[in-house]
Chain A
Amino acid sequence: MSGDGQAWEPVIGLEIHVQLKTRTKMFCGCELSFGDPPNVHTCPVCLGLPGTLPVANEGAIHFGLMIGLALECDLAPRSIFHRKNYFYPDLPKGYQISQYDEPLCRGGRLGDVRIHRVHLEEDAAKLIHVGASGRIHGADASVVDFNRGGTPLVEIVTEPDVRSAEQAREWLNLLRTTMRQLGVSDVNMDEGSLRCDANVSIRPAGSAELGTKTELKNMNSFRFVQRGIEAEVERQRGLLESGRPVVQETLHFDPVSGSLTSLRSKEEAHDYRYFPEPDLVPVAVTEAMIAAARAELPELPAARAQRYERELGLTTDSARQLAHRVELGDYFERALAAGDAQAQPLANWVGGELVARIGEADPARSRASPEAMARLVAMVAARTVSTGAARQVLEELVTAGGDPGEIVAARGLGAMGEGDELTGVVAAAIDANPEAAEKIRSGRAQAIGPIIGYVMRETKGRADGGEVTRLVRERLGV
Chain B
Amino acid sequence: MSDILALTAAETVRRVGAGDIAPAEVWETYRERAAKDDLNAFTWVADAPPEEHGGGSAGMALGGVPVAVKDLFCTRGVPSQAGSKVLEDYRPPYTATAVSRLERAGAPLLGKTNQDEFAMGSSTENSAYGPVLNPWNRERVPGGSSGGSAAAVAAGLAPWAIGTDTGGSIRQPAALCGVVGLKPTYGAVSRYGMIAFASSLDQAGPFARDVTDAALLFRHMVGRDDRDSTSLGPEEEVALPEAEDLAGIRLGVPEELSGEGIEPGVLEAFNDTLRRAEGLGASVEPCRLEHAPHALSAYYLIAPAEASSNLARFDGVRYGLRANGDDGLLAMYTRTRAAGFGDEVKRRIMLGTYALSSGYYDAYYGRAQRVRTKIAEDFRSAFERFDFVVTPTSPSVAFPLGERTSDPLAMYLSDYCTVPMSLAGIPAISIPNGRSQGLPTGFQIAGPAFSENRVLAAAHALERAIGFDGAEARA
| A residues adjacent to B (C-beta < 8 A) | 44, 47-56, 83, 85, 87, 89, 92-95, 144, 271, 273-275, 278-281
Contacts and interface: CB of A to CB of B under 8 A. Distances in A.
B357 A93 contact: no
Contacts, number: 104
A53 B228 contact: yes
A50 B263 CA distance: 38
A186 to B, nearest CB: 28
Contact of B313 (A53, A92, A279): A92
Contacts of B312: 85, 87, 93-95
A94 B191 CA distance: 19
B218 to A, nearest CB: 20
Nearest to A146: B318
A49, A54, A92, A278 — most chain B CB neighbours (10 Å): A278
B229 A279 contact: yes
Query: Helix, strand, loop or mixed for chain A's interface?
Result: loop
B259 to A, nearest CB: 33
B228 A50 contact: no
B96 A51 contact: yes
A99 to B, nearest CB: 15
Contacts of A50: 74, 80, 82, 87, 90, 92, 195-196, 313-314, 319
A144 B318 CA distance: 10
Given A273-B358, A275-B361, A278-B200, A49 B93 contact: yes
Contacts of B358: 271, 273
Given A89-B329, A279-B229, 7 more contacts: A48-B313, A50-B196, A51-B192, A53-B230, A94-B313, A273-B308, A280-B230
Interface string B311-342: 11111011100000000010001000000000
Nearest to A83: B309
Contacts of A52: 192-193
A85 B90 contact: no
A360 B122 CA distance: 68
A273 B309 contact: yes
Nearest to A48: B313
A328 to B, nearest CB: 44
A285 B106 CA distance: 40
B227 A53 contact: yes
B92 A51 contact: yes
B226 interface: yes
Contacts of B90: 50
B382 to A, nearest CB: 25
Nearest to B200: A278
A132 to B, nearest CB: 18
Interface residues of B, number: 45
B453 interface: no
B229 A44 contact: no
B375 to A, nearest CB: 17
Given A87-B312, A278-B200, A278-B306, A273 B318 contact: no
B87 to A, nearest CB: 7
B353 interface: yes
A42 B230 CA distance: 23
Interface string B73-94: 1100000101000010010111
B229 A275 contact: no
28 contacts: A49-B93, A49-B318, A50-B80, A50-B82, A50-B92, A51-B74, A51-B96, A51-B193, A53-B192, A53-B227, A53-B228, A83-B309, A85-B309, A89-B317, A92-B313, A92-B317, A94-B312, A95-B309, A271-B357, A273-B353, A273-B357, A275-B306, A275-B309, A275-B356, A275-B361, A275-B365, A279-B199, A281-B229
Contacts of B266: none
A113 B311 CA distance: 41
Interface in B193-220: 193-196, 198-200
A87 B331 CA distance: 12
Nearest to B366: A275
B199 A55 contact: no
B305 interface: yes
Interface string B357-371: 110010001000000
A401 B227 CA distance: 57
B305 A275 contact: yes
A274 B198 CA distance: 16
A47, A56, A94, A271 — most chain B CB neighbours (10 Å): A94
Nearest to B333: A87
Contact of B230 (A89, A93, A95, A281): A281
Nearest to A280: B229
A77 B358 CA distance: 27
A49 B92 contact: yes
A279 B230 contact: yes
A275 B368 CA distance: 13
A156 B322 CA distance: 38
A271 B354 CA distance: 11
Nearest to A269: B358
Interface string B55-81: 000000000000000001110000010
Nearest to A94: B312
Contacts of B313: 48, 50, 92-94
A44 B313 CA distance: 13
A282 to B, nearest CB: 10
Nearest to B75: A51
B356 A92 contact: no
A424 to B, nearest CB: 84
